[in-house]
Chain A
Amino acid sequence: MTDLPAGIDRREFDGRRRLATRGDPVYGEPTDGEWRCWDAGRSKLGAMIEGGMDIELSESDSVLYLGAASGTTVSHVADFAGPTYAVEFAPRPMRDLIEIAAARSDLFPLLKDARKPETYSHVVENELDVLVQDVATRGQARVAVDNARFLAADGRLLLAIKARSEDVTAEPAAVFDEVCAELREGYEILDRERLEPYHDDHLGVVARKR
């Protein structure tokens, strides 16, 4: 197993060694002192780390997070990362995300459509270290490629691809190949891994901007 990025640790929760970060608990997760459990079953990024992928995420990296939803994963990222821009399109989960942002220092919630980066390019800075993407929409590769503009020259993409969002009828493996092929327009793929057993029909991808 690869070394965990700084700011992430394994702690004992309910008799199991599980991922944890330091910060305010937000969704009733178990805690151990100042550490709070990062549930890989509720977080694709967490599942990528549990699955042994080298996500190359370091302490105080600047991050753009697309598809922040109610903020479960982004809250863990913001625990150890630097400035973190969290984009989410649906108002209801955004309500929870706002509360999480209010309790943290460098988390910026944006109610925007990840398919339209020009609507938040005036707020999100360039030269970011990491783009995390977990959006349940068709054209997930397109979204990643369009948002590469925010990344520094060697910036990384941590992507969770949901097969069912692209095509429910097709074989997930075929969908993943197709999405990865389109992704190569803007990225060099470093690693890809299915996220089972934590998330069915999802592929985790680590890539570097071209």
Chain B
Amino acid sequence: MSDQSTGAGWFTELSPEADADLRAAIRTGRADAPADWPTAAVEQGFAADTDDYYETLRAATIDAAREAVAEREGADDNQLLHAVRAMDDATRTANELAERCHEWAGTQFDDAKPGIDGARTVTDHEPSNPVEKRVVSLATRIDDLASEADELRRFIERLAPEVAPNLAEMAGPVLAARLIALAGGLGSLAKKPSGTVQVLGAEDALFAHLAGHGGSPKHGVIYTHEYVNGTRPEDRGSAARALAGKLTIAARIDHYSGEFRPEIHDELDERMATIRARAEEGNGDSGDEEGDQ
């Protein structure tokens, strides 16, 4: 195939009938510089004449594009939803087990420490009796589970920008995946009003508020975004509202168009700079409370 030879056309050494090879050559091949490919193809006997070449090229590019689109779109929001839920479950379970392991390991080893790292040091021990064998075995499972959670995070970081390029750029891949999971899919997230997106993940507080207990929640899971938790408390409501507004737009672009739009990210940066400038003015309630866009 042509991906190792940088000076060759996509058709080099291929038969015009080898559909799968032609598709792969279009998709994965590269060349440092273009050349007169139609003439080269005729000279190499790939095509009878240039019309014949263009006909084969047309069929191959359409097939390759169809295949590439199907593959890229197969990177679907559903997989992201499962992956982020699995990651959270794996992390939570690993932490719970690490607590149990720390308590138990303390009865056997002097150097037992808490947390995942604590469990990982336990795995270094050579068990000398049946109890130690169980403790070390448990620690090994915790190590595995925590590593799986890390792998899942890396997987999400790769997948999210493909599924939702704008949302992943704005929220970061993991928060993007969480929002999609909480909404039940990218399509449902795209249909939610921004006020709902703002409190996704804070349903308990929201329903308590609706039942008459406590204030309305200012933010849900988007609290983990630096634009919210890095803003001083009196401006966090504004920050969460501005962020949720743009996240909603990002989700809609991702769902309905799929194109990356750099300008919406710049607009958010600009808006956040305005909100944070209030702190420098030293005036907590100045500024435009209605100014979310």
Q: Does B61 interact with chain A (Cβ within 8 Å)? A: yes
**Measured between alpha carbons, how far is A167 from B30 in the docked complex, in Å?**
32
Number of A-B contacts (CB under 8 A): 115
- Contacting pair A90 B258 (CB below 8 A): yes
**Measured between alpha carbons, how far is A97 from B26 in the docked complex, in Å?**
17
Q: Within 8 Å CB of B270, what residues of A?
A: 168-169
Q: Within 8 Å CB of A126, what residues of B?
A: 33-36
Min Cβ gap B55→A in Å is 8
Q: Does B259 interact with chain A (Cβ within 8 Å)? A: yes
- Number of contacting residues on A, CB 8 A? 39
**Measured between alpha carbons, how far is A97 from B33 in the docked complex, in Å?**
26
- Contacting pair B66 A98 (CB below 8 A): yes
Q: In which size bucket is the chain B interface? A: 35 or more
Min Cβ gap A170→B in Å is 10
- Contacting pair B257 A108 (CB below 8 A): no
Q: Does B198 interact with chain A (Cβ within 8 Å)? A: no
- Contacting pair A111 B34 (CB below 8 A): no
Q: Within 8 Å CB of A95, what residues of B?
A: 69
Residues 179-227 of B at the A interface (beta carbon under 8 Å): none
- Contacting pair A123 B26 (CB below 8 A): yes
- Contacting pair A122 B65 (CB below 8 A): no
Q: Does A184 interact with chain B (Cβ within 8 Å)? A: no
**Measured between alpha carbons, how far is A57 from B279 in the docked complex, in Å?**
55
Q: Within 8 Å CB of A125, what residues of B?
A: 34-38
Identify the stretch in A18-26, A37-45, A99-107, A186-194 within 8 Å (CB) of chain B at 4 or more residues: A99-107
- Contacting pair B259 A136 (CB below 8 A): yes
Partner-A contacts on B (CB < 8 A): 2, 8-10, 25-27, 29-38, 54, 57-58, 61-62, 64-66, 68-69, 72-73, 257-263, 266-267, 270
Task: Pull 26 A–B residue pairs with CB atoms less than 8 Å apart, ordered by A.
Answer: A69-B259, A90-B258, A91-B69, A94-B69, A98-B62, A98-B65, A101-B65, A106-B54, A108-B61, A110-B26, A111-B68, A121-B31, A122-B8, A122-B10, A122-B30, A123-B9, A125-B38, A126-B35, A136-B259, A136-B260, A136-B262, A149-B34, A164-B263, A168-B263, A169-B266, A169-B270
